[in-house]
Structure 1
């Protein structure tokens, strides 16, 4: 069963992304723009970010991150 959902970048997500960008830039820890948009979408949509790149996304405050990859 497919549980994929397309999330539209709305004003709330863009506003959240701009705050994340400003915070990361101020701390000198910028990540790619696409990752900032992904990170902004999760809390706005009430989602947890599941990734194998925890270190990268843990730079972003107030983002719930889980890694489901078994090593």
Structure 2
């Protein structure tokens, strides 16, 4: 199975906050893991505004040498638009970056790994897993 890592799962791994996430990422084949350029933008923003900028950027650089970054493209943009419109029609509000990452996972046929399963489960056609739970 191939996976797209949500921003919060990347933070979990980089911070060591959830040992179960670390175990799953280390056990996965590198070719099975991807991170969206949208998540990378969020991670760079977080590192930039942190107290330990240089250390956090360096950790992120190492991580991105191990996990392939996929660019948000037209197919991802189309999936994002469909998902956002469908959720808004139901009155559901989801953060725009989360929806872009969801659209990206759908467009690539990947399972989204997130700690925010509840919010993402509302998006049709999106497969979601939570690796925080052992």
TM range (shorter): 0.7 to 0.9
The answer to which structure, 1 or 2, has the higher relative contact order (CA under 8 A, 6+ apart) is: 2
Cα deviation, residue 60, structure 1:
0.6
Residues 28-62 of structure 1, C-alpha deviations (whole Å, 9 max, x = no match): 00201100110011121221101111101001111
4+ residue stretches of structure 1 with deviation over 6 A?
Answer: none
User: Do residues 56 (structure 1) and 132 (structure 2) align?
Assistant: no
Larger Rg: 2
Residue correspondences, number: 70
CA RMSD of the aligned region, Å?
A: 1.4
Residues 8-27 of structure 1, C-alpha deviations (whole Å, 9 max, x = no match): 12111111101111001100
Contiguous gaps of at least 5 residues in structure 2: 1-29, 31-65
Q: Distance in 2 between matches of 1:61 and 1:51?
A: 16
Contiguous gaps of at least 5 residues in structure 1: none
The alignment's TM-score, normalised by the length of structure 2, stands at 0.49
Q: Distance in 1 between matches of 2:133 and 2:90?
A: 31
Q: Counting strand residues as a fraction of each chain, which structure ranks higher?
A: 2
Q: Distance in 1 between matches of 2:109 and 2:79?
A: 13
